[in-house]
Structure 1
Amino acid sequence: MKNFILALFFMLISCVTMAQEKEHMKFMGIPINGTELQFETKLKSKGFVRKSRINENVLEMVGKFAGSKVEVYIVSTNNLVWKILVDYPEESTFSSLSSFYDDMVEQFKIKYGIPSDHFEFFSKPYYKGDGYELQALKLEKCTYASYWETSTGIISVSLTKYANLRIVYEDAVGVAKKHETNEKQIQNDI
Structure 2
Amino acid sequence: MVEIVERSSDAKERLIESARQLIWDRGYVGTSPTAVLRRSGVGQGSMYHHFKGKPDLVLAAERRSAELMQAQIRRLFAGEGSGLRRIIAYLMSERDVLRGCSVGRLAGDPEIVADDELRKPVRETFSVLVRCLTEAITEARAVGELEARLRPEQTAAALAAVVQGGYTLARAEQSVEPFDRAIQGALDLLGVTADDIIGPSRTPS
TM-score class, shorter-chain normalisation, is: under 0.3
**More strand per residue:** 1
Greater Cα radius of gyration, structure 1 or 2: 1
User: Normalized against structure 2, the TM-score is what?
Assistant: 0.21
User: Normalized against structure 1, the TM-score is what?
Assistant: 0.22
**More helix per residue:** 2
- Whose relative contact order is higher, 1 or 2, with alpha carbons under 8 Å and at least 6 apart? 2
